[in-house]
Amino acid sequence: MGKPEFVGKKSKAAGGWGALRSCGKKLLASGAPLSGAVTMLKANQPDGFDCPGCAWGDPEHGSSFEFCENGVKAVAWESTDKRVKPDFFRAHTVTELRQWSDYDLERQGRLTHPLRYDRASDRYVQASWDEAFSEIGKILKGLDSPDRAEFYTSGRASNEAAYIYQLFVRLYGTNNFPDCSNMCHEASGVALEQAVGIGKGTVMLEDFEKADAIFVIGQNPGTNHPRMLGDLRRAAVRGAKIAVFNPVREKGLERFADPQDKLEMIMGGSTAIANAYYQVRVGGDMAAVRGMAKAVFAADDAALAAGQPSILDRAFLAQHTSGFEFYRASVDATSWEQIEDQSGLSHAEIEELAEIYIRSEKTICTWAMGVTQHRHSVATIRELANFLFLRGNVGRPGTGLCPVRGHSNVQGDRTVGINEKPPRAFLDALEKEFRVPMPRRHGHNVLAAIGAMLDGTAQAFIGLGGNFARATPDSPLIAKALMNQKLTVSIATKLNHSHLLPGEVSYVLPCLGRTEIDRNSDGVAQIVTVEDSMSMVHGSGGINRPASPELRSEIGIIAGIAEATVGSETVDWKGLAHHYDRIRDLIARTIPGFHDFNGRVRKPRGFRLPNGAAERIWNTRSGRATFSSCELPTLTEHQQALGERGTFVLQTFRSHDQYNTTIYGLDDRYRGIYGERRIVFVNPEDLAEIGASAGDRVDIIGRHEDGVERIAESFRVVPYDLPRGSVAGYYPELNVLVPISSAGELSDTPTSKSVLVSFRLSGQARAA
């Protein structure tokens, strides 16, 4: 297979010198160049902390520090020298701060003291921890039902914090656990549970060293999972084929100069990563994958007719799967015309792709938000599983399904019980351990929680990290929902918009970050644990001095609220918060796969949780890997947009300088954007239809028909290489356009990648 290609220009590739320069700048801007650099050296090391960036796995072997520009940003952002002290709030009212941008708010630095909202002065004022815990406990106890409170989790929370949080909330009496995963990889969990019996990926990092072909679908790892790019690059250098499905030509996926490869850096070269880049239409992946399956079946029919062996893994299909015949029938019934129209790829292109698959003995499919944030995301992921089953590409070295998770511990949080629909066995285990009944009613996910907060059913909102107000759809509605509450509580490291929408009583409780040393009153440093996208659980211990002596750990804060709310008869909260080994002992006793948790997590690299599907044990209803036979969507939003003049499908994605709602800077280097985020990327041929020229300012108008008027004003038009009829821009600024009433089937995830919109030149509304 082909040798890597070197390109002799410095600035063209993702990574490389540009990444190093940007890192230096970020460390300086964070105000802590030296400690930032030292801190960085400890990221993802056995004796250091888990990088609070993404959930990509860490190498099994070798201790060399994996360089990642965006990991540096995440760490530097947390280890800043800047502080938001109580006097900051003396200078600014909450109403004033609401006008500030996300960028300006977080840039002020780390929160240092517990804060209580004072309505008379419209300011946050310093509070004591005891006062906070006791008032929160009093209000929670006073609600007429525990189901009137919502307990949100963002995926940075450690296993230990998430476990005692769910324990507290269930003892309090509800399963209302909206979490960031509801807006993220929920569809992957649902689809994989149905298809292979576990809602997680089946791939290990080593599998990337063995695969012959890797399909990278709907993700932008150059920005969001830079360490994955290293694994893709090594695979490409080895000669593996890497096929990308993405409507946008993402530079990080095309070429990558590895800052850890000295030779490449000196030569100023870069490796071509994707051999095959297919600009699929937005929402067209299911059709594209079905097309590949159709081409595989055609090739198989031809092989059999010529007396050659089958292309399919017939033994795997017979022994391990169910529903194959139905699937085959649904593929036969899908026309090439529909496949081409929906995917935007030609029959010939799809045959090329199928050829890559057929020639590969070992294939991996990876995906992220470009797949999970559509109406038909679950069906699409089932189709990916169908496709891999055909040639036995699950549960074999070098193969598998790989949803690439977002937050560094979003997968672990679900494992340890952040789940509004908890499995019965888990509740049974909790009841056995704690000898009290657990709530059995299913609780609220994010969209249900928003509904309840809007209609008054919910009266209290507690946020363990995250930025609920900005991450959720329909931003103006969410503001109302939060301010409707009797109580809002945010456990956070930095100030964000969710804190500025106080309920009747509101607290902001500042916590330690993952990079900081967490010592108990005996001076013993505590570690926490996280689970990555490959189901590996490892320890994480901070190394920096806490940003303020007043800070408490997330665990300490949850324990304080729990004690004030449900008392300490059933659980010794103080004891758990004193030594996290005790929480791990509870996890070991109540969740399968965690036996000898405290021993195993202290081994370098930790341990892997059991993953049936990876060993071809299928915990599905049929006891087998299960094919689905869904029809393609009748009409995707992209097709709809192409059919209606003036209508476009908008996807909301991340810039290179942000971590979700945290904005590190205003550049998006790989896409050539500097100093601005109010941008809309448009195909040059669509400019006329929009009635705008490059650089013009436009208002983007939501076209979702549910009676709500949605407008995002004054965005600059940037011509870009994406398919006609589709446009793109940054989240969270564009969340004003994402409708709460549009959600994924079976996943209930907001459809942030397929929002119907139209345009008008800015200023026109007033002129008219």
The pair of structure tokens assigned to 666 is: 């205003």
Tell me how crowded residue 510 is: count the other CB atoms within 10 A of its CB.
25
23, 28, 34, 38 alpha-carbon torsion, rounded to 10°: -30
Interface with ligand MGD by CB under 6 A: which range of 135-143, 465-473, 559-567, 669-677? 465-473
Output 405 or 704, the one with its CB closest to Mo ion.
405
Smallest distance, ligand MGD to C-beta of residue 406, A: 2
CA 122-125-128 angle, to 5 degrees, is 145
Q: How many residues does the chain have?
A: 768
Residue choice 471, 559, 613, 650 for contact with ligand MGD (CB under 6 A): 471
SS3 217: strand
Smallest distance, ligand MGD to C-beta of residue 427, A: 26
Interface with ligand MGD by CB under 6 A: which range of 124-132, 235-243, 301-309, 365-373? 365-373
Residue choice 27, 32, 43, 54 for contact with ligand MGD (CB under 6 A): 54
SS3 322: strand
The pair of structure tokens assigned to 635 is: 């009409």
Report the distance separating Cα 413 and Cα 426, nearest Å.
Answer: 14
What mask of x and - would describe binding to ligand MGD in positions 401 to 440, judged by CB under 6 A?
-----xx---------------------------------
Does 362 interact with ligand MGD (rule: CB under 6 A)?
Answer: no
Output 328 or 552, the one with its CB closest to ligand MGD.
552
Output 53 or 199, the one with its CB closest to ligand MGD.
53
Smallest distance, ligand MGD to C-beta of residue 310, A: 29
Place of tokens 């609920």: 468
Output 467 or 488, the one with its CB closest to ligand MGD.
467
Residue choice 72, 149, 169, 180 for contact with ligand MGD (CB under 6 A): 180
Which residues, numbered 622-651, are part of the site for ligand MGD (CB under 6 A)? 651
Smallest distance, ligand MGD to C-beta of residue 536, A: 17
Residue choice 658, 742, 751, 758 for contact with ligand MGD (CB under 6 A): 658
Which residues, numbered 239-268, are part of the site for ligand MGD (CB under 6 A)? 245-248, 250
User: CA separation (Å) from 549 to 511, 739, 743?
Assistant: 10, 42, 43
Residue choice 259, 406, 702, 723 for contact with Mo ion (CB under 5 A): 406
Which residues, numbered 698-717, are part of the site for ligand MGD (CB under 6 A)? none
Task: Give the helix/strand (H/E) hosting 78.
Answer: helix 69-78
What mask of x and - would describe binding to ligand MGD in positions 539 to 568, judged by CB under 6 A?
---------------x--------------
- State the burial class of residue 37 (Cβ atoms within 10 Å of its Cβ: 0-12, 13-18, 19+): middle
SS3 166: helix
Residue choice 68, 162, 184, 587 for contact with Mo ion (CB under 5 A): 184
Which residue type occupies 204? M
Residue choice 166, 219, 363, 484 for contact with ligand MGD (CB under 6 A): 219
User: CA separation (Å) from 421 to 199, 295, 586?
Assistant: 13, 39, 21
Beta bridge partners of 255: 272
Smallest distance, ligand MGD to C-beta of residue 679, A: 14
What residues contact residue 467 under an 8 Å CB cut-off, 6+ apart?
102, 154, 496, 497, 498, 660, 661, 662, 732
* Helix-strand-coil split of the chain, %, nearest 5: 40, 20, 40
- State the burial class of residue 646 (Cβ atoms within 10 Å of its Cβ: 0-12, 13-18, 19+): middle
Place of tokens 């109010």: 678
User: CA separation (Å) from 82 to 77, 79, 385, 646, 711?
Assistant: 10, 9, 47, 46, 35
Output 511 or 536, the one with its CB closest to ligand MGD.
511
Output 19 or 184, the one with its CB closest to Mo ion.
184
What mask of x and - would describe binding to ligand MGD in positions 571 to 610, judged by CB under 6 A?
----------------------------------------
Tell me how crowded residue 76 is: count the other CB atoms within 10 A of its CB.
26
174 touches, from Mo ion, ligand MGD, none (C-beta below 5 to 8 Å by class): none
Interface with ligand MGD by CB under 6 A: which range of 266-274, 479-487, 490-498, 542-550? 490-498
Smallest distance, Mo ion to C-beta of residue 180, A: 6
User: CA separation (Å) from 257 to 243, 246, 536, 667?
Assistant: 19, 21, 28, 20
Does 698 interact with Mo ion (rule: CB under 5 A)?
Answer: no
Beta bridge partners of 118: 123
Which stretches of the chain bind ligand MGD, using CB under 6 A? 53-54, 70, 106, 154-156, 180, 183-184, 217-220, 223-225, 245-248, 250, 280, 282-283, 285, 368-370, 373, 406-407, 464-468, 471, 491-494, 496, 511, 513-514, 554, 651-654, 658-662, 731, 735, 738, 752-753
